[in-house]
């Protein structure tokens, strides 16, 4: 994207960070915050003034009470810095502003922490004074990068004919699998609006309405436990297309992600590949495979078909090979075993590979042929470590997938951006407490046409026309072909234990719409904060949100959530 030229206006004639040797001799006014002050004798001070473009040194004569974070306007003449004082590390390091006339636009109290990337203040203090925190270079960089990313995404979507349409914030529940935030309705005491977990149903209605291609940077709200990659509220690129295949949706979204990456870091990622869900699970033990590194899961079940080793009499046995891991200490191996157990394995079998033997407490239970097959199958070399898990397929995949990440994954933003589509998710990913299948994506996802019959007989085997976009081991977002026929929708509801009356009361408006000419449609949504965090090299999405909540859902800046006035409660018809 072309750089926009920043034209100084108002009180300033130049930006601090823009001054160069070619400006020497010019009379300028800059505005900003006092970044630092160094005294030089009694009546001379070097004041660094900062705005969002950088800092410039101002040489101030006479006594001025100028302290950190005072807001100032400095007017003077750009001049060469005296020999020996040039700072090659600073873009403005060759020049300074001399003969300065100082105007204090607003004095400031000493900041609660220094405005510097070098000093890391406590999280809650940073959030309490977020407006100071956001002055730091890192935060300026992150939020400006975010701005470039959203702008590139809008341009990309609009270049493909998508129309930006808003959907309501006060609405009825859209099930995306999280808890809802609710808002009491004053005009209908005892009733509540729900804040959208996503615009899912509205965007489907927009397809019925003939908009054909919709997008929105939609704020969504989900009441879930907060983590590094999750806040209560987040923004997603939400999109929907009529008469489209998964490949169409994926190509549009791939373009917006590529343009966003280019706008953020100046490089276009390689073309985004695709892997089937079942292969991702089989090879990486995860539906969000981190494909920046190998250490793939190795199938060994058949090797132990006739085994005499009780721990290996299991439906699935898999391994990973940790190159050079043969020197892991016993206590490290014990730690890994504990982790494997926490993650659901009955145990972890480890094998240190030596030149002509395998060293392991389990080795004596294995036959010579088994040992030989393990060596060949895993291509183990002397000095490697093999970690093996036996159990249900779900467990061997899951535990080894996590061990693989634990032992191999680079920090999330290292090693480039490896985007991947994971396609053909299952429709359901398990049963809830009442034994009803739970939608892996959401209830509006179209089953694979070949698997419709299985909905009643073997729901967990039903494939969905659903796909995720994954980058460096993070799930960026999900999408699917939607159900657009009332009869199929009811079948999916019924498979999930939602009978027609309940379906009618919760989703009657959608089922109605399906009866009035609903085109086939498909869509996608991905989290802007997750994408921006990765592009900015941040591990926590809080660093790319202007005003985030703490891990416990608290906002130290405004104090939210707070109790409300008893009169307001009364008006809302609420009693605590």
Residue 460 CA, chain-centre distance (Å), reads 28
For residue 309, what are the contacts with CB-CB under 8 A and spacing of at least 6?
A: 362, 365, 366, 370
For the chain, how many helices (H) and strands (E)? 14, 22
* Residues facing residue 482 across a β-bridge: 445
Q: Look at strands 316-322 and 95-106 and give their pairing.
A: unpaired
Nearer to ligand ASP, 222 or 404 (CB): 222
- Structure tokens, 188: 């209908």
Residue span binding ligand ASP (CB under 6 A) among the ranges 121-129, 255-263, 475-483, 541-549: 475-483
Q: Look at strands 358-359 and 385-391 and give their pairing.
A: unpaired
Nearer to ligand ASP, 380 or 513 (CB): 513
Q: In the bound complex, what is the minimum distance in angstroms from residue 468's beta carbon to ligand ASP?
A: 9
Asked if 249 contacts 479 with a C-beta cutoff of 8 angstroms, the reply is yes
Q: In the bound complex, what is the minimum distance in angstroms from residue 236's beta carbon to ligand ASP?
A: 6
Site for ligand ASP, residues 539 to 558, rule: CB under 6 A: none
- Mark residues 511-530: x for contact with ligand ASP by CB under 6 A, - for none: ------------xxx-----
Nearer to ligand ASP, 64 or 448 (CB): 448
- Mark residues 370-389: x for contact with ligand ASP by CB under 6 A, - for none: --------------------
Q: In the bound complex, what is the minimum distance in angstroms from residue 149's beta carbon to ligand ASP?
A: 18
Look-up of token digits 């729901």: 459
Q: Look at strands 428-431 and 437-439 and give their pairing.
A: antiparallel
Give the containing element (helix H, strand E) for 500. Answer: helix 500-514
The verdict on 286 binding ligand ASP (CB under 6 A) reads no
Among 142, 465, 480, 540, binds ligand ASP (CB under 6 A): 480
Nearer to ligand ASP, 203 or 352 (CB): 203
Q: In the bound complex, what is the minimum distance in angstroms from residue 570's beta carbon to ligand ASP?
A: 36
Q: In the bound complex, what is the minimum distance in angstroms from residue 176's beta carbon to ligand ASP?
A: 5
The verdict on 447 binding ligand ASP (CB under 6 A) reads no
Q: In the bound complex, what is the minimum distance in angstroms from residue 401's beta carbon to ligand ASP?
A: 22
Residue span binding ligand ASP (CB under 6 A) among the ranges 68-76, 362-370, 416-424, 472-480: 472-480
Burial class of residue 324, CB neighbours in 10 A (0-12, 13-18, 19+): exposed
* Count of CB atoms situated within 10 Å of the CB of 434: 6
Nearer to ligand ASP, 221 or 320 (CB): 221
How many residues touch ligand ASP under the rule CB under 6 A: the total is 9
Q: In the bound complex, what is the minimum distance in angstroms from residue 238's beta carbon to ligand ASP?
A: 6
- Structure tokens, 71: 């807001």
Q: In the bound complex, what is the minimum distance in angstroms from residue 482's beta carbon to ligand ASP?
A: 8
Q: In the bound complex, what is the minimum distance in angstroms from residue 216's beta carbon to ligand ASP?
A: 11
Rounded Cα distance, 100 and 79, in Å: 11
- Structure tokens, 106: 């607003």
Site for ligand ASP, residues 210 to 229, rule: CB under 6 A: none
The verdict on 200 binding ligand ASP (CB under 6 A) reads yes
Site for ligand ASP, residues 322 to 351, rule: CB under 6 A: none
Q: In the bound complex, what is the minimum distance in angstroms from residue 252's beta carbon to ligand ASP?
A: 12
Burial class of residue 100, CB neighbours in 10 A (0-12, 13-18, 19+): buried
Q: In the bound complex, what is the minimum distance in angstroms from residue 444's beta carbon to ligand ASP?
A: 8
Q: In the bound complex, what is the minimum distance in angstroms from residue 461's beta carbon to ligand ASP?
A: 22
The verdict on 198 binding ligand ASP (CB under 6 A) reads yes
The phi and psi torsions of 256 (rounded to 5 degrees) equal -70, -35
Among 150, 472, 478, 490, binds ligand ASP (CB under 6 A): 478
Rounded Cα distance, 252 and 261, in Å: 14
* Count of CB atoms situated within 10 Å of the CB of 456: 11
Q: Which of 172, 245, 183, 199 is nearest to 480 (CA)?
A: 245
Nearer to ligand ASP, 459 or 477 (CB): 477
Rounded Cα distance, 61 and 59, in Å: 7
Nearer to ligand ASP, 53 or 198 (CB): 198
Q: Which of 296, 269, 263, 300 is nearest to 282 (CA)?
A: 296
For residue 435, what are the contacts with CB-CB under 8 A and spacing of at least 6?
A: none
Q: Which of 288, 359, 295 is nearest to 321 (CA)?
A: 295
Site for ligand ASP, residues 119 to 178, rule: CB under 6 A: 176
Residue span binding ligand ASP (CB under 6 A) among the ranges 285-293, 302-310, 478-486, 497-505: 478-486
Q: In the bound complex, what is the minimum distance in angstroms from residue 112's beta carbon to ligand ASP?
A: 37
The verdict on 479 binding ligand ASP (CB under 6 A) reads yes
Rounded Cα distance, 204 and 207, in Å: 5
Q: Which of 540, 513, 561 is nearest to 207 (CA)?
A: 513
Nearer to ligand ASP, 72 or 235 (CB): 235
For residue 371, what are the contacts with CB-CB under 8 A and spacing of at least 6?
A: 358, 363
Nearer to ligand ASP, 258 or 525 (CB): 525
Q: Which residue is nearest to ligand ASP (CB)?
A: 198
Q: Write out the residues near ligand ASP by the rule CB under 6 A.
A: 176, 198, 200, 478-480, 523-525
């Amino acid at each position: 994207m072309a750089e926009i030229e920043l034209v100084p206006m108002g009180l300033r004639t130049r930006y601090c960070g823009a001054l160069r040797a070619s400006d020497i001799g010019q009379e300028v006014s800059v505005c900003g915050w006092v970044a630092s002050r160094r005294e030089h004798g009694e009546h001379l001070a070097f004041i660094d003034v900062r705005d969002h473009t950088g800092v410039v040194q101002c040489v101030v004569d006479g006594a001025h009470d100028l302290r950190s974070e005072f807001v100032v306007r400095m007017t003077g003449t750009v001049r060469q810095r005296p020999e020996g004082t040039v700072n090659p590390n600073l873009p403005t390091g060759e020049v300074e502003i001399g003969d300065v006339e100082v105007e204090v636009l607003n004095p400031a109290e000493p900041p609660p922490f220094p405005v510097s990337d070098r000093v890391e203040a406590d999280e809650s203090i940073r959030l309490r004074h977020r407006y100071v925190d956001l002055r730091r270079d890192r935060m300026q960089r992150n939020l400006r990068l975010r701005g470039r990313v959203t702008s590139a995404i809008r341009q990309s979507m609009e270049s493909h004919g998508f129309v930006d349409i808003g959907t309501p914030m006060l609405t009825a529940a859209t099930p995306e699998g999280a808890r809802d935030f609710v808002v009491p309705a004053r005009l209908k005491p005892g009733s509540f609006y729900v804040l959208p977990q996503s615009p899912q149903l509205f965007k489907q209605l927009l397809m019925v309405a003939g908009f054909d291609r919709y997008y929105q940077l939609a704020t969504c709200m989900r009441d879930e436990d907060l983590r590094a990659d999750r806040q209560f509220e987040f923004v997603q690129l939400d999109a929907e297309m009529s008469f489209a295949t998964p490949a169409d949706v994926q190509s549009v979204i791939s373009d917006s992600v590529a343009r966003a990456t280019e706008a953020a870091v100046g490089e276009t990622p390689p073309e985004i590949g695709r892997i089937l869900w079942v292969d991702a699970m089989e090879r990486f033990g995860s539906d969000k495979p981190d494909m920046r590194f190998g250490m793939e899961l190795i199938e060994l079940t058949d090797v132990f078909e006739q085994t005499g080793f009780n721990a290996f009499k299991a439906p699935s046995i898999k391994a990973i090979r940790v190159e050079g891991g043969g020197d892991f200490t016993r206590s490290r191996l014990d730690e890994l075993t504990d982790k494997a157990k926490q993650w659901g394995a009955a145990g972890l079998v480890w094998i240190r590979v030596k030149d002509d033997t395998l060293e392991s407490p389990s080795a004596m239970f294995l036959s010579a042929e088994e040992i030989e097959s393990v060596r060949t199958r895993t291509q183990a070399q002397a000095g490697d470590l093999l970690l093996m898990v036996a159990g249900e397929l779900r467990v061997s995949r899951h535990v080894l997938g996590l061990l693989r990440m634990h032992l191999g994954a680079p920090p999330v933003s290292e090693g480039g951006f490896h985007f991947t589509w994971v396609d053909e998710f299952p429709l359901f990913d398990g049963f809830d407490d009442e034994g009803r299948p739970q939608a892996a994506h959401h209830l509006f996802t179209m089953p694979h046409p070949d698997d419709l019959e299985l909905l009643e007989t073997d729901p967990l085997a039903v494939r969905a026309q659903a796909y995720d976009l994954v980058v460096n081991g993070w799930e960026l977002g999900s999408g699917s072909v939607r159900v657009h026929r009332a009869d199929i929708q009811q079948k999916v509801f019924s498979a999930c234990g939602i009978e027609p009356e309940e379906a009618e009361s919760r989703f009657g408006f959608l089922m109605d719409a399906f009866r009035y000419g609903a085109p086939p449609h498909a869509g996608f949504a991905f989290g802007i904060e997750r994408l921006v965090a990765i592009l900015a090299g941040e591990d926590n999405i809080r660093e790319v949100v202007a005003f985030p909540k703490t891990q416990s859902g608290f906002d130290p800046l405004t104090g939210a959530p707070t109790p409300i006035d008893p009169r307001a409660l009364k008006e809302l018809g609420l009693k605590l």
